[in-house]
């Protein structure tokens, strides 16, 4: 009995030793595996941080710096109908260290009528010098038109001659009738259908009420329009022209040395005055057409005729050829306009007295 117990105890001890050795072996294997994994991770990190071919890591591209001189041209809208205004804008942005200015291109616009124009700037915007010229255009015929390309020479910061330019701008003008597609063309007539219900008996009364309201509205519109025309008829053409002249001078064009635009306004006031005083469509006519129409006008003597011809022939080149008038010339034309109106009013008074 004692021997059997001893053998059992020896067996248990031997098993305990075997299990301890196995645990130590497994523990050593796990430690070795962990070390291998850590070494692999460290190698991956080192290889990921190394640039290819021994170069430094590539840096992201910096945003492109704006050009020292940026010139753009656009037409708004690029597609219009006959008689609708089209605005042609030319915009210039220049680095403050450079010098460049917008040219006058009104005389190069062909096929379209220049009904108005202006200039904005130069002024500082977002660290650059910004300026813009605009032209309001109208077309009398349908078709395709090409607005001229614009180019500006300048000298860059390195002393080299450069040119900023735009492309031609295309404008499409359609007839007021528009275009018809195949779907809008003539279609076959549909078959007749019977009315689902009869017209209510009260329908004529409703129609009469609507017509009465419309008639009342039309009457009120005509009444106020006639009243306004009566008030305007009490004002003489001279009073109207002097008010327009005061409004033109209040725009500050002379103070800003924008003499060409000021002369453009003087010419328009003169033509409107001829319409009001002598009943000729001067705003839509050429100089020769105006003089031909005034030959049939009453109270239009030889002195007024020569003054009209001289004023129009001297201001037309400023309007249509892009010439820049001198300040003294601008003041002279303004005084001649006032003198012409005084002379015309005196002639009218003499004729009425006679």
For residues 94-104, average pLDDT: 80
Q: What is the pLDDT at residue 334?
A: 93
Assigned token pair, 263: 């002369």
Alpha-carbon dihedral of residues 121, 122, 123, 126, nearest 10 degrees? 110
* CA distance linking residue 109 with residue 115, whole number of Å: 12
Would you give the distance in Å from CA 267 to the centre of its chain?
A: 26
Report, in angstroms and rounded to the nearest whole number, the Rg of the chain calculated over CA atoms. 44
Q: What is the pLDDT at residue 25?
A: 41
* CA distance linking residue 261 with residue 135, whole number of Å: 12
* Predicted confidence (pLDDT) per residue in 211-270, tens digit: 999 998 998 898 788 766 665 567 899 999 999 999 999 999 989 989 889 989 999 999
Of the candidates 107, 119, 105, 112, the residue with the CA atom closest to the CA atom of residue 150:
105
CA dihedral (258, 261, 267, 268) positive or negative: negative
- Cβ distance 100 to 94 under 8 Å? yes
Residue 114 to residues 118, 119, 138, 320, Cα–Cα distance (Å)? 11, 14, 7, 9
- pLDDT of residue 165 exceeding 90: no
User: What is the crossing angle of helices 302-320 and 259-278, to 10°?
Assistant: 140
Lowest mean pLDDT among 47-61, 121-135, 196-210, 250-264: 47-61
Domain covering 69-174 assigned CATH 3.30.1370.10 in the classification: no
Q: Whole-angstrom distance between the N-terminal and C-terminal Cα of the chain?
A: 169
Q: What is the pLDDT at residue 26?
A: 45
* Predicted confidence (pLDDT) per residue in 140-164, tens digit: 888 888 888 888 888 877 878 888 8
Q: In the structure, what pLDDT confidence band is assigned to residue 124 with cuts at 50, 70 and 90? A: confident
* CA distance linking residue 229 with residue 90, whole number of Å: 40
Q: What is the pLDDT at residue 65?
A: 67
Q: What is the pLDDT at residue 354?
A: 53
* Predicted confidence (pLDDT) per residue in 257-311, tens digit: 898 899 899 999 999 998 888 888 888 888 888 888 887 776 778 888 888 888 9
Q: What is the pLDDT at residue 230?
A: 63
Q: What is the pLDDT at residue 248?
A: 92
Q: Identify the bridge partners of residue 118 per DSSP, sorted by sequence position.
A: 134
**Domain boundaries along the sequence of the chain:** 2-46, 69-174, 237-353
* Predicted confidence (pLDDT) per residue in 19-69, tens digit: 544 554 445 556 665 676 666 666 555 555 554 444 444 454 545 667 888
Q: CA angle at residue 189 from 184 to 194, to 5 degrees? A: 125
Q: What is the pLDDT at residue 164?
A: 82
């Amino acid at each position: 009995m004692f021997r059997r117990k001893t053998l059992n105890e020896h067996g248990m001890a031997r098993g305990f030793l075997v299990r301890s050795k196995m645990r130590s072996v497994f523990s050593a294997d796990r430690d070795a595996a962990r070390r291998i994994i850590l070494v692999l991770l460290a190698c991956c990190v080192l290889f990921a941080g190394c640039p290819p071919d021994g170069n430094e890591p590539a840096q992201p591209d910096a945003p492109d710096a704006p050009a020292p001189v940026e010139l753009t041209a656009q037409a708004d809208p690029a597609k219009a109908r006959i008689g609708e205004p089209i605005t042609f804008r030319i915009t210039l942005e220049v680095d403050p260290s450079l010098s460049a200015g917008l040219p006058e291109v009104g005389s190069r616009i062909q096929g379209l009528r220049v009904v108005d124009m202006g200039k904005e700037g130069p002024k500082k915007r977002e660290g650059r010098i910004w300026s813009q010229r605009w032209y309001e255009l109208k077309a009398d015929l349908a078709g395709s038109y090409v607005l001229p390309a614009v180019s500006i020479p300048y000298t860059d910061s390195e002393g080299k001659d450069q040119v900023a330019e735009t492309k031609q701008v295309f404008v499409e003008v359609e007839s007021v009738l528009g275009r018809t597609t195949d779907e809008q063309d003539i279609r076959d007539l549909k078959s007749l259908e019977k009315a689902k219900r009869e017209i209510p008996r009260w329908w004529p009364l409703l129609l009469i009420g609507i017509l009465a309201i419309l008639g009342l509205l039309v009457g009120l519109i005509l009444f106020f329009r006639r009243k306004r025309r009566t008030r305007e008829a009490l004002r003489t053409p001279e009073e109207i022209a002097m008010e327009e002249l005061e409004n033109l001078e209040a725009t500050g064009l002379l103070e800003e040395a924008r003499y060409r635009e000021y002369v453009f306004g003087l010419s328009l006031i003169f033509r409107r005055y001829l319409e009001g005083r002598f009943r000729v469509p001067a705003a839509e006519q050429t100089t020769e057409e105006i003089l031909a129409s005034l030959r049939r006008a009453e109270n239009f003597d030889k002195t007024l005729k020569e003054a009209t011809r001289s004023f129009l022939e001297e201001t037309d080149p400023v309007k249509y050829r892009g010439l820049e008038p001198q300040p003294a010339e601008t003041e002279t034309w303004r005084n001649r306009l006032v003198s012409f109106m005084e002379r015309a009013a005196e002639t009218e008074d003499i004729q009425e007295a006679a």
